[in-house]
Amino acid sequence: MTHTYDYPRPAVTTDVVLFTIDAERLRVLLVRRGGDPFRGCWAFPGGFIELDEDLIDGARRELAEETGVTGVYLEQLYTFGTPNRDPRGRVISVVYYALAPEGRVSVRAGSDAAAVQWFPVNELPPLAFDHDEILAMAKVRLATKLGYSTIALQSMPEKFTLSELQSVYEVVLGRTIDKRNFRKRMLAVGSIEPCQAWLRRGNHRPARLYRATSPEVVDWTARAGL
């Protein structure tokens, strides 16, 4: 059956803010746009939703097509719908964000992306559309989620030390955390467990290795309290 509508329908897109931590710096993945508008400018991976597609599926598809990244946990951030945010017309964007494992996500430019690159969040090129506003909100949300979820574990390898995990918190929060307090609270949350293995580096004391109890799940009820 064909339907008619009394009101014009806006277009809907998804964008993905993908963070990682490399060399103790918070970085974000950007693509150089290969087409208009903002040709040659940097932006977040994203694009228009297909009519028969769920929002999260569209976000995953665009991320894979433009950057080659798959298999990362995505959470919805916010819906951006200022009328003049896109010069092509009325476009509403549903934005997702994620924290990807360091060194375990390979990227390649594809689809309509001319290039793809990780940038330190404090050293970004000019961004297209309203992506400056989107990034600001994503950074705040990521830092907030660290306090009551296990999202930080999404950035860790299969086995890691507590010092390595603490470094993730400190990079995202932008401040130093008390070591003893951090270890006590992380072990109390129950989202990690010790391995029967130790990490030895030079003449330093061996460090106990840990792993996530449920690495494929982000638990929003956890309370790190940091």
pLDDT in tens, 132-182: 999 999 999 999 998 888 889 988 989 999 999 999 999 999 999 999 999
So what's the pLDDT on residue 12? 97
With contact defined as beta carbons under 8 Å apart, do 126 and 201 qualify?
no
So what's the pLDDT on residue 200? 76
So what's the pLDDT on residue 226? 61
pLDDT band at 126 (very low <50, low <70, confident <90, very high): very high
28 has a pLDDT exceeding 90: yes
So what's the pLDDT on residue 102? 73
- Give the start-to-end residue ranges of the domains of the chain: 11-146, 151-212
So what's the pLDDT on residue 222? 59
The CATH class of 11-146 is: alpha beta
Say how far apart CA 185 and CA 135 lie, in whole Å: 29
Q: Is the peptide bond before 10 cis (omega within 30 degrees of 0)?
A: no
217 has a pLDDT exceeding 80: no
Q: What are the two backbone dihedrals, phi and then psi, of residue 172, each rounded to the nearest 5 degrees?
A: -70, -40
pLDDT in tens, 35-77: 999 999 999 999 999 999 999 999 999 999 999 999 998 999 9
CA distances from 60 to 48, 53, 56, 98, 208 (A): 12, 11, 6, 11, 35
The CATH class of 151-212 is: mainly alpha
Higher per-residue pLDDT: 214 or 181: 181
So what's the pLDDT on residue 118? 95
pLDDT in tens, 10-23: 999 999 999 999 88
With contact defined as beta carbons under 8 Å apart, do 44 and 74 qualify?
no
Specify the pTM. Answer: 0.90
117 has a pLDDT exceeding 90: yes
